[in-house]
Chain A
Amino acid sequence: MIAGVIAVVLLLAIAAYACGGGTDYGAGFWDLTAGGTARGKRPRQLIDHAMEPVWEVNNVWLIFVLVIMWTGFPVLFQRVFTTMWLPLALAAVGIVLRGAGFALRRPARRLAGRRLYGAVFAVSSLLTPFFLGTAAGGVASGRVTATTTASTDAWANPTSLLFGLLAVAATATLGAVFLAADARRFAAPDLDRYFRHRSFAALAAVAVLAVVTLVVTHDDAPHVWHGLTHGVGLVFVVVAVLATLATAWLLTRPSGAWSRVTAVGVVAAAVIAWGMAQRPYLVPTSLTVAEGAGAPSTLRWLGLVTLVALVLVVPAVALLYWLDTHGELEGLTDADLRRDSAP
């Protein structure tokens, strides 16, 4: 019972990271594709400005996921990190390069420095979600077992690769939808159009990849396929489809309002559908939630920690997002750091 609750918490934390962190990875994706220095100047400025105050908070969701994994389901943690060694190691390197590249780009002044840090940030924004996605695909297709070694087959297989691509496409969608909204907020209609077009393209890519994934999982990950086409899993698949259609429709409307909510709905529903499809397994057909669960007393404490987190963290994160979307948060400029200024 308690193990099931913690498994749901883990799933929701993964969904939160996919949405929060995903938006930032997506911003990096569009940074990568923004073109040369002159052409990409305005999109990049918007990306810098939009991501700056929130990306560190979004990254903490990942820490939360890892903590719930190793405290609540130690065996799962051990097996995932043993079999998915290479993609996870590369994702870790990607996370460092991405965060450092982003943080260093802003104070760097020379064009060469900004280019280098920007490129590091953008490329690793593409690779990190891909590798995290492949690791998730390895879990979904049941390749994470007690006996599997860290071979390439564990992650270089159809399901893993598609999960990786799907992760990239989903982050790109989120990034474009949020950046379009930011462009509207900053009254930059040209950038609004720019990112709306990209939102459509990314959303179409997500739809195509999702269909392909569903076909591939039929043979490669039969348990998940069955879960996605039946019961609760199917409900969330339908929600994801409806959210996709709603996002596309909202993006054609002039105001574009609520498109962020529906875009988050697409990704969150897809992640939850995957988790529900895996029931009752943590890793399909080799490790059930009950088998993988840690000591019951620990799980109860973990539940308590989660509750406290909800009470403390949700208002704080809500405050941050509210301040951010109302234009209250802005980085210090050179002028603020000179003696003759006093903001």
Chain B
Amino acid sequence: MHTVHTVLLLADPPAQTLPARSMMAFTLASHIILVPMGVALPLITLLMHGYGLRRGDATALLLARRWSAVMAVQFAIGVVTGTVLSFEFGLLWPGLMGRWGDVFGIGFGVEAWAFFLEAVLIAVYLYGWRRLPSRTHFLLGLPLPLVALLGAFGILAANSWMNTPRGFTLDAAGNPVDVRIWKAVFTPMFGPEYWHFVFAMFVTAGYVVAGVYAVGRLRGRRDHYHRLGFTVPFTLAAVCTPVQFVLGDSIARQVFQKQPVKFAGMEIVWKTATHQTEYLYGRLHPDGTVTGGIGIPGLDSVLAGFRPDTRVTGLTSVPAADRPTPTQATIAHWAFDTMVGIGSLLLLLALWYGGLWLWRRRLPASPWFFRGAACAGVASVAAVECGWITTEVGRQPWIVYQNMRVAEAVTATRSTGLWIMFAVIVVVYVFVFGSFLAVLLRMRSRWRLADGQGGPRPPKETPEPDTPETETPYGPRSAGSRL
């Protein structure tokens, strides 16, 4: 193991590293946009659906149906972009899987059957609207949020293991033996990462969905439909935001405890000392100086250990080859600060909403609140991206923290081939995500047009007979028998 390290210290990272990392970063960054929707949109839709059933509110049911139609497309694209990530484990990081697959791969096994259940339940939910009895349909959808949480379990177990690997011993050749699965799944970073991630998903999905209706409200649409479409997801997100703030604070301290060098990168701390300065942004240079940014003396130590004399480990506590480069540290630091900044703004927005609700029992009337709410969706997606950049870039140069370098894990395929494939993937993803957005926008304008023409009418008892527009040309023979 040590000889490998020395060799790598002397050699430059292989040419494959840059394209492989770019490709992984690009595909994950794209996929992660869909993840909050995949995890939390079923919950939000079920909340709306349940509300509609309980109150007999046709508008709530309409919203739930429309969100289902969006979910159908979004889930499909999430499934395929997620499959690509599984392939990339082998295509880009065969060294990681070859050596460590049997240590940390089992979490993905749990994830695989969670996906099965999720795919089944979501298919039943999305395609059950028309023919299943309404109670059965709703009840079959209810396990969806739980299954989504189970799916997140697997991927988070794997990622937290990469950050705080354990549950194995190394033999003389540096290969893991004596694997203890339980310890490898429930690593020190698992709990904090899992809850931080899950709440991030709820917050993000809530703000994204609510943001659509906030825009509608800003454009003067103040009917029951927009009010409901805004309130349900926003309330969920607003309740989760303070919890997420506390969880975020706690995970940062966990990183300080368990991965001090990563924490040093996130906070651009150069030398180990007490009374560390907290920098808001700023840039770390190779000589350890920081330019730009706002420095608050002593605050970093206080945040890490509640006291100014907390000793915070610096980047220079380990050799240069075992820590993030100054550029990587700066990237992680900026991503971290941006995430915290967005989180703080979202907390203010949630407090505004919650405070007014508690005291006055009404929605804020100020357009500034709705402007904020309209931006909250995009902002929270940005925060998710930043959080992910923080944890991945902050872990550099390790793929398995202190056990395997990214450069050791990368594929031996020629770097030209990787660059070409990266270009292909970019084109394909731009096409897919662009089309997805176009389809969503067209759905929205179609519905708005239909709403404008039809106007709210009292709901009918039975489903409409198939109109010529419906795309099912020949119904099953048993059509209607179950209704």
Contact = CB atoms under 8 A, between A and B. Distances in A.
Contacts of B466: 333, 335
Interface stretch (A29-37, A94-102, A205-213, A273-281): A94-102
A254 interface: no
B76 A78 contact: no
Interface residues of B, number: 108
B308 interface: no
Contact of A317 (B109, B120, B463): B120
A331 B68 CA distance: 10
Interface of B is mostly: helix
A56 B101 contact: no
B87 A66 contact: yes
A337 B447 contact: yes
Contacts of B467: 333-335
Interface string A29-72: 00000000000001001001100111011011011101110111
A320 B123 contact: yes
B435 A334 contact: no
Contact of A103 (B72, B428, B469): B72
Given A57-B119, A96-B428, A104 B90 contact: no
Nearest to B100: A74
B29 interface: no
Contact of A331 (B79, B127, B429, B459): B127
Interface in A295-343: 295, 297-299, 301-302, 305-306, 308-309, 312-313, 316-317, 319-320, 323, 326-343
Given A56-B75, A59-B79, A338 B454 contact: yes
B79 A302 contact: no
B76 A99 contact: yes
A265 to B, nearest CB: 23
Q: How large is the interface on A (under 10, 10 to 19, 20 to 34, 35 or more residues)?
A: 35 or more
A77 B98 contact: yes
A89 B180 CA distance: 33
Nearest to B435: A104
B471 A45 contact: yes
Contacts of A186: 474-477
A82 interface: yes
A249 B279 CA distance: 77
Contacts of A109: 442, 446
B228 interface: no
Interface string B406-425: 00000111100100010011
B289 to A, nearest CB: 43
Contacts of A301: 106, 109, 181
A242 interface: no
A100 B473 contact: no
B79 A56 contact: yes
B362 interface: no
Question: Which residue, B73, B87, B176, B451, has most C-beta atoms of chain A within 10 A?
Answer: B87
A341 B432 contact: no
A2 interface: no
Contact of B132 (A91, A97, A328): A328
Question: Which residue, A78, A185, A186, A308, has most C-beta atoms of chain B within 10 A?
Answer: A78
Interface of A: 42, 45, 48-49, 52-54, 56-57, 59-60, 62-64, 66-68, 70-72, 74-75, 77-82, 85-86, 88-89, 91-93, 95-100, 102-104, 106-109, 117, 149-150, 185-188, 294-295, 297-299, 301-302, 305-306, 308-309, 312-313, 316-317, 319-320, 323, 326-343
30 contacts: A45-B473, A48-B471, A67-B109, A71-B109, A77-B94, A77-B98, A78-B94, A92-B87, A96-B81, A97-B428, A99-B76, A99-B77, A99-B80, A102-B76, A103-B76, A104-B436, A106-B72, A106-B73, A150-B412, A150-B413, A294-B102, A295-B178, A302-B109, A305-B106, A320-B123, A331-B72, A332-B130, A336-B130, A336-B463, A339-B457
Q: Which 4 A-B pairs have the closest CB atoms?
A: A294-B102, A81-B90, A78-B98, A327-B476
Given A97-B432, A332-B130, 17 more contacts: A63-B82, A64-B112, A66-B89, A81-B411, A82-B411, A82-B412, A86-B417, A99-B76, A104-B73, A104-B435, A109-B446, A295-B179, A320-B123, A329-B123, A338-B450, A339-B451, A341-B459
